[in-house]
Amino acid sequence: MDPARKRTARLVVALTAAVLLAGALIYTSFSAGDPSVSPSRLASSAVPGKSYQVTGKVADWQKSGSVQHFVLHDRKGSGSVPVVYNGPVPDPFRNGREVIITVRKDGGAFVGEKDSLITKCPSKYNNKATPS
Amino acid sequence: MDSATLGRACLILALGTALYGVGSGVYAGRTQDRDWAASARRAVYALSALATIAFLLLELAFLRSDFSFATVASHSSTTTPTLYKAAAAWSSQEGSLLLWLWLLSLWSSLVLYLTRHRMRDVTPYATAVLCVFGAFFAGLLVFLASPFDTLASVPSDGTGLSPLLRHPAMMIHPPMLYSGYTLFTVPFAFAVAALLVRRVDAEWITATRRFALAAWFFLGIGIVLGARWSYSELGWGGYWAWDPVENASLLPWLTGTAFLHSLMIQERRGMLKIWNASLILATGTLAIMGTFLVRSGILDSIHAFGASTLGTPFVVFIAVLICGSIGLVVMRRDTLRSENRLDSLLSREAVFIANNLVLVGLAFVTFWGTFFPLISEAVTGTKSAVGPPWFDRYTVPLGLALVLLSGIGPVIAWRRATAVNARRNFVAPALGSVAVVALLAVVTDAASRPKALGMFFCAAFVFITVGQEFARGVRARRAMAGGSIPGAFVSMIGRNRRRYGGYIAHVGFATVLVGVAASSAFQHAKDVQLLPGQTARNGGYSFHYVRATSRVVTSAGRLERMEFGAVIRVSKQGRYVATLRPNRGYYPVNSSFAPISSAFDGEATSEVGLKAGLTRDLWIAVQPDLTPLRTYIAGQEQKIVGVMQGVVQKFPNVNTAVMQTVVGRFVAQRRAAVFAEVDRRYVANTPAASFRVIVSPMVMWIWIGAIITFGGGLIAMWPAPDGVRRRARGRYAARVAKELGRA
């Protein structure tokens, strides 16, 4: 094959592969992604059995054996949902801390998926004290 | 002049100096005036001196616990150990930005000093670009995030460094990451300058190659230290979670690794000029993006972000970098044409290109997954997030391909591989790898995890190809110069550090991924609740909860933390293996209203029990149940607060300071007594504690592999001996002469 045609063929193959990979990436990300919602949105629109990633502030944390019960509040706003999570909580977990958790609606409560609880680490660049 | 004022003055002068460096660098570039070029270079030296003074002033404030500095009051305390006080400087937003500026100015000074007699057309513009970075960060420090803000009312103690950060790895993790980020700005600046003056040969690459390698080295160490910290400190037993903040540091490392490979093609064959320029411009931009991501709060991450005013300046700066980079490459596309064509798909050039595509593919996957919440919200109106399984779906096959290519690349011939070359280099490694995999499939249960088995095959291939290359090199060296095998080995590496350093890095990287594959595929993790005397079984091991532990840790006479833990005896088939002592420390918060319970209301951190080994790690974290103690604590607290209020009401005319001293002493005595009782009660009547128990094979090889990888990087970075360097210069001069002849 003449070198110019060979190069074109290679380019076409490479671009096709790249397009296919990018297509797969885009398709799977949209189909595999869990909706990321606030507690108030979760409370108003959750469909039973579907997974949601919810971010909110912890309140009323109670522990019963290895089962954790807590309420997630909106960062800003008044919406909240009750969450039940079975398993140990991360070190920074406590009332007032922001967490991300994947939950499914089960009756009136939201059940956290195993190992999906992420508590935001307060280590990064917190606000300093108010200067003079 | 007090130190805060001096620090502020240094930052204002640093901003002015950086702006002067931009102006004088551009003027020197346009006029080719050597005096102005030297002046711009000296501006960078001055910038580094000013940033050094400012950084030292901030460090001194932390070490002296000078709580008149707002940032010291927020991030340190008298009970913070001295070494962590020093590290606390960069745990704050302002301190970390100052660290960025300081490191940037140091590396910029170094590269401009080393190139002061070279590339006189390129360096003035490179100086200007480096000063643009300096001016940006100095501007943030002067106008938006000053580390030298002071408090009107100076507190007697500070908030303290977050206990989670009190780990040796965390002391050096940020400086390593920032060294990596700032070092990547050096080749970025030279690439921009080379494109501006249309000098697109490989000299800018040669001049900054070591800086790119050092950036890769430091950023990589920073990433590994972060992983190690996560594994041993965060109490979840993992080392990588595909969190946006982790991904932010991985992105420039991936594109930087691609650049380090593809630049060899440009140096040797004059190819991939557009690719190399684009890669390093993308890497520099990603380094800034990484710095921005951890401050912005635009993505949901394990890290919480304080409300920050830095988002807009960063977004504008990144937009300028992206638009400028794309515009520059497009405008110079004619001068960036390759001097040679790819001769064959079976050549080292083709393998390097494939390696680059895989690395950029990994970077793209990481980028897409990280920013997917923003992308999905823009496209569908609903924010969605992808988790580790999505990342694994793409990164595992790409990782397998990368390791395989890192075995093929070093031994395949340049330009075109022949059948003889293929037989000579690949038959033994391929057969050896098949044998290794077959053995693993028979002896272990690796066959049940095909992805892990695939990684073992690819890694075995790398070990054998690289081993084969070393063996051939040693034989050739001994044939030429004689001597012992170790002597020939050392001499061979010393004479060709770049090549053999690269080979060692490949072996280390394959080792890291073997550790990752084994520990991910064959990990046994279990969450259990145990009372003292009970036993949990996991991964063939028995974990026996012998007894509970408790202690009060004080520092400088003040409560530092309360610790509750467990003694766990691990055995296998009745044979003693190890004793693990996990515990959880509860740090206090300052509260005069809750003098006892406040001792438990601060951060809590796990100290995991870890028995690390070459074949497996035994890892255990404990979460004690303090609920039964809370009732006792609440009762005692009520009594103490009642006494305090009674005293204050009974003696209303007593001087406030005297009253505070008296009450303070009383509270301190009562607290000590209550804590001692809490200690005793927890050990005597221990409630069931929650444990996470993990048996994870070959985690140790991740850390060993990282040491090998970065050891290889260090060898490749180390300057060659004089003789070798002279020969390399000779070869380079010949190449320049050839190119001039062409022109």
The residue among B277, B308, B335 that closes a domain is B335
Tell me, what DSSP letter sits at residue B157? S
Cβ atoms of B234 and B303 closer than 8 Å? no
Of the ranges A63-67, B281-285, B333-337, B494-498, the best mean pLDDT one? B281-285
Give the pLDDT confidence score for residue B733 in this predicted structure: 59
Of the ranges A90-104, B135-149, B471-485, the best mean pLDDT one? B135-149
Q: Rounded mean pLDDT of B182-210? A: 92
Using the beta-carbon criterion (under 8 Å), do A128 and B162 form an inter-chain contact?
no
- B690 close contact with A: CB closer than 8 A: yes
Longest dimension (CA), chain B: 100
Using the beta-carbon criterion (under 8 Å), do A129 and B394 form an inter-chain contact?
no
Same domain for B207 and B300, yes or no, is yes
Query: Which residues on chain B are in Cβ contact (under 8 Å) with A88?
Result: 235, 527, 621, 623, 690-692
pLDDT at B661 over 90: no
Tell me, what DSSP letter sits at residue B80? S
Of the ranges A93-97, A119-123, B241-245, B355-359, the best mean pLDDT one? B355-359
Give the pLDDT confidence score for residue B403 in this predicted structure: 96
Cβ atoms of B101 and B137 closer than 8 Å? yes
Same domain for B143 and B34, yes or no, is yes
Cβ atoms of A81 and A54 closer than 8 Å? yes
What per-residue string of b and e applies to B74-89 under the rule 16 or more CB within 10 Å gives b? bbbbebbeeebbebbb
CB atoms within 10 A of CB B445: 10
Work out the angle at residue B715's Cα, subtended by the Cα atoms of residues B713 and B719, and round it to the nearest 5 degrees.
Answer: 115
Q: Rounded mean pLDDT of B610-622? A: 95
Which amino acid makes up residue B525?
A
Could you tell me the sign of the dihedral formed by the alpha carbons of B713, B717, B720, B726, in that order?
positive
Same domain for B183 and B142, yes or no, is no
Q: Which residue has the higher pLDDT, B12 or B202?
A: B12
Q: What is the 3-state secondary structure (H, E, C) of B558-582?
A: EEEEEEEEEEEEEEECCEEEEEECC
Q: Rounded mean pLDDT of B390-405? A: 95
For residue A83, the distance in angstroms to the closest alpha carbon of chain B comes to 19
Same domain for B635 and B722, yes or no, is no
Distances (CA, A) of B13 to B93, B139, B588: 21, 11, 41
- What whole-number distance in Å separates Cα of residue B277 and Cα of residue B326? 10
Distances (CA, A) of B687 to A13, A63, B55, B623: 64, 13, 49, 11
- A23 close contact with B: CB closer than 8 A: no
Would residue B362 count as lying in a domain? Answer: no
Q: Rounded mean pLDDT of B651-656? A: 75
How would residue B728 be classed by pLDDT, with cut points 50, 70 and 90? low
Q: Rounded mean pLDDT of B354-382? A: 91
Task: Determine the residue of chain A that is closest to B381 in CA distance.
Answer: A35
Could you tell me the sign of the dihedral formed by the alpha carbons of B373, B379, B382, B384, in that order?
negative
Would residue B9 count as lying in a domain? Answer: yes
Q: Within the 93-132 window of chain A, which residues sit less than 8 Å (CB to CB) from chain B?
A: 94, 97-98, 100, 102, 115-116, 118-132
Same domain for B233 and B98, yes or no, is no
Same domain for B212 and B271, yes or no, is yes
Cβ atoms of B355 and B261 closer than 8 Å? yes
How would residue B509 be classed by pLDDT, with cut points 50, 70 and 90? very high
Work out the angle at residue A124's Cα, subtended by the Cα atoms of residues B395 and A57, and round it to the nearest 5 degrees.
Answer: 90
Torsion angle defined by CA atoms of residues B472, B473, B478 and B483, in that order, rounded to the nearest 10 degrees = -120
Give the pLDDT confidence score for residue B732 in this predicted structure: 54
Which amino acid makes up residue B457?
F
Give the pLDDT confidence score for residue B134 in this predicted structure: 98
How would residue B301 be classed by pLDDT, with cut points 50, 70 and 90? low
- B27 close contact with A: CB closer than 8 A: no
Task: Determine the residue of chain A that is closest to B238 in CA distance.
Answer: A115
How would residue A132 be classed by pLDDT, with cut points 50, 70 and 90? very low
Would residue B135 count as lying in a domain? Answer: yes
Neighbour-count burial of A102, counting CB atoms closer than 10 A to its CB (0-12 exposed, 13-18 middle, 19+ buried): buried
Q: Which residue has the higher pLDDT, B247 or A127?
A: B247
Tell me, what DSSP letter sits at residue B410? T
CA neighbours within 13 Å on the CB side: how many for B615? 1
Same domain for B648 and B521, yes or no, is no
DSSP symbols for B109-140: HHHHHHTTTS-TTTHHHHHHHHHHHHHHHHHI
Give the pLDDT confidence score for residue B723 in this predicted structure: 55
Tell me, what DSSP letter sits at residue B144? I
Work out the angle at residue B250's Cα, subtended by the Cα atoms of residues B509 and B392, and round it to the nearest 5 degrees.
Answer: 75
For residue A108, the distance in angstroms to the closest alpha carbon of chain B comes to 23
B67: Cβ–Cβ under 8 A, 6 or more apart, which residues?
B73, B151, B154, B155, B156, B157, B158
Which amino acid makes up residue B640?
I
Q: Rounded mean pLDDT of B108-136? A: 95
- What whole-number distance in Å separates Cα of residue B676 and Cα of residue B681? 9
Give the pLDDT confidence score for residue A127 in this predicted structure: 47
B419: Cβ–Cβ under 8 A, 6 or more apart, which residues?
none
Would residue B65 count as lying in a domain? Answer: yes
Q: Rounded mean pLDDT of A51-73? A: 88
Place of tokens 């460094």: B161
Tell me the average pLDDT of chain B: 89
- What whole-number distance in Å separates Cα of residue B55 and Cα of residue A111? 48
User: What's CA B722's distance to the chain center, in Å?
Assistant: 33
CB atoms within 10 A of CB A118: 23
Share of chain B above pLDDT 90, in %: 61
- What whole-number distance in Å separates Cα of residue B241 and Cα of residue B223? 12
Could you read off the pLDDT of B324-338 as tens digits, one per residue? 999 999 999 888 888
A36-119, CATH topology level: OB fold (Dihydrolipoamide Acetyltransferase, E2P) (2.40.50)
The residue ranges of DSSP E strands in chain A, in sequence order, are: 34-37, 51-64, 67-73, 80-86, 98-106, 109-112, 118-119
How would residue B743 be classed by pLDDT, with cut points 50, 70 and 90? very low
Chain B interface, mutation test: which of A15, A20, A21, A29, most B Cβ atoms within 10 Å?
A: A29
Would residue B29 count as lying in a domain? Answer: yes
What pTM value is reported for the model?
0.89
Task: Decide the pairing of beta strands A51-64 and A34-37.
Answer: parallel
How would residue B729 be classed by pLDDT, with cut points 50, 70 and 90? low
pLDDT at A131 over 50: no
Q: Rounded mean pLDDT of B374-395? A: 88
Same domain for B273 and B328, yes or no, is yes
Domain count across chain B: 4
B403: Cβ–Cβ under 8 A, 6 or more apart, which residues?
B455, B458, B459, B461, B462, B509, B510, B513
Would residue B734 count as lying in a domain? Answer: yes
Give me B22's structure tokens.
């931009």
CB pairs under 8 A between A and B: 161
- B361 close contact with A: CB closer than 8 A: yes
Cβ atoms of B480 and B699 closer than 8 Å? no
Q: Which helix (H) or strand (E) holds B179?
A: helix B168-196
Give the pLDDT confidence score for residue B738 in this predicted structure: 57
Give me B429's structure tokens.
């490694």
Same domain for B546 and B443, yes or no, is no
Q: Rounded mean pLDDT of B65-89? A: 90
Same domain for B552 and B649, yes or no, is yes
Cβ atoms of B29 and B123 closer than 8 Å? no
How would residue B591 be classed by pLDDT, with cut points 50, 70 and 90? low
pLDDT at B730 over 90: no
- What whole-number distance in Å separates Cα of residue B123 and Cα of residue A5? 41
Would residue B405 count as lying in a domain? Answer: no
User: What's CA B99's distance to the chain center, in Å?
Assistant: 15
Q: Rounded mean pLDDT of B391-412? A: 93
Would residue B398 count as lying in a domain? Answer: no
The residue among B335, B369, B401 that closes a domain is B335
- What whole-number distance in Å separates Cα of residue B168 and Cα of residue A117? 26
- What whole-number distance in Å separates Cα of residue B172 and Cα of residue A110? 40
- What whole-number distance in Å separates Cα of residue B322 and Cα of residue B422? 42
Same domain for B705 and B641, yes or no, is no
- A69 close contact with B: CB closer than 8 A: no
Least Cα distance to B252 among B319, B181, B303 occurs for B181
Least Cα distance to B251 among B149, A33, B259 occurs for B259
Chain B interface, mutation test: which of A94, A125, A126, A132, most B Cβ atoms within 10 Å?
A: A125
Least-confidence region, from A40-44, B64-68, B129-133, B514-518: A40-44
How would residue B271 be classed by pLDDT, with cut points 50, 70 and 90? confident
Give me B49's structure tokens.
């001196």
For residue A100, the distance in angstroms to the closest alpha carbon of chain B comes to 8
Q: Which residue has the higher pLDDT, B567 or B343?
A: B567
Least Cα distance to B129 among B151, B111, B154 occurs for B111
Neighbour-count burial of B423, counting CB atoms closer than 10 A to its CB (0-12 exposed, 13-18 middle, 19+ buried): exposed
Give me A11's structure tokens.
């380019």
Tell me, what DSSP letter sits at residue A112? E
Cβ atoms of B219 and B176 closer than 8 Å? yes
Residue among A29, A119, A120 minimizing CB distance to B386:
A29
- What whole-number distance in Å separates Cα of residue A93 and Cα of residue A95? 7
Cβ atoms of B684 and B527 closer than 8 Å? no
Least Cα distance to B161 among B664, B555, B458 occurs for B555
Give the pLDDT confidence score for residue B734 in this predicted structure: 60
Same domain for B538 and B681, yes or no, is yes
Could you read off the pLDDT of B539-564 as tens digits, one per residue? 999 999 999 999 988 877 777 788 99
- What whole-number distance in Å separates Cα of residue B16 and Cα of residue B423? 62
The residue among B296, B318, B335 that closes a domain is B335
The domain in which residue B431 lies consists of 417-525+699-743
